[in-house]
């Protein structure tokens, strides 16, 4: 799940617990969302083509 203010939350956890959090990073990077958007659009186009082909075959 995406957490808004992730860096601030990690700083608070480190300040209150003393745990070293220098290696902690968000799991999903912004470029990953762009890849997911691209793949979703490709799948949407394939679905549309499949439905159009099925409806206009005969």
Q: State the number of CA atoms in the 13 A half-sphere of 48 facing the CB.
A: 6
pLDDT at position 26: 77
* Spans of the chain below 50 pLDDT: none
Report yes or no on whether pTM surpasses 0.85.
Answer: no
pLDDT at position 54: 94
pLDDT at position 49: 97
From CA 19, how far away is CA 23, in angstroms rounded? 11
pLDDT at position 30: 81
């Amino acid at each position: 799940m995406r957490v808004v203010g992730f860096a601030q939350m990690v700083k608070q956890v480190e300040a209150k617990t003393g745990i070293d959090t220098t290696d902690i990073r968000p799991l999903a990077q912004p470029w990953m969302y762009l890849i997911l958007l691209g793949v979703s659009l490709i799948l949407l186009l394939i679905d549309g083509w499949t439905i159009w082909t099925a409806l206009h075959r005969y």
